[in-house]
Amino acid sequence: MKYIIAPLLLLAALAPGQTWIVEQVDSTAAAESPVELVKSTDGRLWASYQVDSGVVRVACLRDSGWSLTDVCSATAGGNFFRRPYLAAGPHGELCLSCYSPDSEWLYRLVRDTWQYEPDSFINANHSGALAYDTAGRLYIAYNTWAAEFWVGHETDSGWTSGFVVALPHYGWFNVDIGYLTTAADGSPWFFGYGYWYDGPYHAGDGIALMHLVGDTWTSVWERYGGGGGPIPVGLAPHDSGVGTLTDYNGFIQCDSEPITSISEIPVAGLAYSDEDVPLVAWVPLQSSGAPVFGFKTNRWHTESIPGPAGIGGLDIETDTNGQVVIVYSTEDSGLWCAKGTDVVGAKESLEPQAASREPASTIARRVLFLAEASGLKPQVASLLDAAGRKVLSLHSGANDVRALAPGVYFVRESQAQARGRAVSKVVVTR
């Protein structure tokens, strides 16, 4: 096992109200390597990717910077669809799925050491997708033959599995991809993609979003044809459901709402902020430019990130401060990380307010609880400063204003953009 501290190259870009710091994580990362980025319960960020030799490497962002560890040395390097998947569990669990031409490899992080685990589905072709539920049980997606997907999961008595969905397959060449996630209520979701080809005029594809209800996988929606498919990674937890990111009919779409037009299937990722704001990032393949970041409050905002051009892999997460972190691979300069400051927040006018609940300024003395002053449900509210930065999460009177400097703040409910009343204004005085 190899442990490396990577040298960092820093770039900074200033723009009104926001800053991006871009650093080189690993100059030896394979060109166009797929990338997976997750956040563990202690707040650390973990990225998995491939290096030039085909080894799967995991980078961990600590207070001292990025530390690098080689995990699996038998992977098929450079295969876009065989990304090294990572999953973070609710109790500090971390699991990595690596692909090789001969078999799948599963590794779990135990006391800061990656330990190999025998394949539980040896006769299956894993899609590689992993997810933990709220109890810490691991789910693995796989397919036994073309475009027929199954999901296995851990139980107290061992592993079990069940059929999920079959997508059309009529050709001699096929690509099958599956993605897994678990929603805030702990229920698993599966996003499957199948493409088949049997000559220049005979091809097709299909995508399906499935939800495990009880013991049965239920179809949420399915689409066939149209030249679209899932964009890895295509899922992120969102309230009791799940968000989807697809390319369909020439657009990048988040939950079926177009964000921007595209001419090629891009490399992209999806995450959510603590306030349920959808965060997306993608690489514009045609121009081979730096990644583009977008987020939505009452409309979509997009901007290019300064730094080298991305091309192969990308994923997005938030750090412990609720700010955006994007990790992506390049064609000739390895793996890079773009960290945003003051990027996501209330940067625009509010939506029309409900007539019966007009927002009002509140003078909050030092001893008043913010939850009481705002009149919002404290368990789903967050406090923002005037620049839109998150200051506190409000929890049933546990937070007061005594630690805050005087000024103007805003209390916003989770998913506020979908409600009539989005924000209450709070003025803190001495």
Q: Report percent pLDDT > 90 for the chain.
A: 26
Q: Which CA distances in Å does 340 have to 213, 322, 360?
A: 37, 10, 31
Surface-to-core class of residue 256, CB atoms within 10 Å of its CB (0-12 exposed, 13-18 middle, 19+ buried): exposed
pLDDT digits (tens, 9 = 90+) for 222-268: 888 766 677 766 788 888 889 998 888 788 889 889 998 887 778 88
Residue 305 has pLDDT above 50, yes or no: yes
pLDDT digits (tens, 9 = 90+) for 73-114: 755 443 444 678 899 999 999 999 876 555 557 889 988 899
Whole-angstrom Cα Rg for the chain: 22
Question: Is the pTM here over 0.85, yes or no?
Answer: no
Distance CA 189, CA 212 (A): 6
pLDDT digits (tens, 9 = 90+) for 329-378: 998 899 999 998 776 643 443 444 343 333 333 333 322 333 343 444 44
pLDDT digits (tens, 9 = 90+) for 19-67: 889 999 999 998 888 899 999 999 999 999 988 887 889 999 988 889 9
Distance CA 39, CA 43 (A): 6
- Dihedral (Cα; 401, 403, 405, 410), 10-degree rounding: -40
As a whole number, mean pLDDT of residues 174-178 equals 79
Tokens of 87: 């999953």
Domains within the chain, CATH numbers bracketed: 3-341 (2.130.10.10), 355-428 (no CATH)
Residue 204 has pLDDT above 60, yes or no: yes
CA-based nearest residue to 334, from 40, 39, 24, 116: 24
pLDDT at site 359:
35
Distance CA 290, CA 79 (A): 21
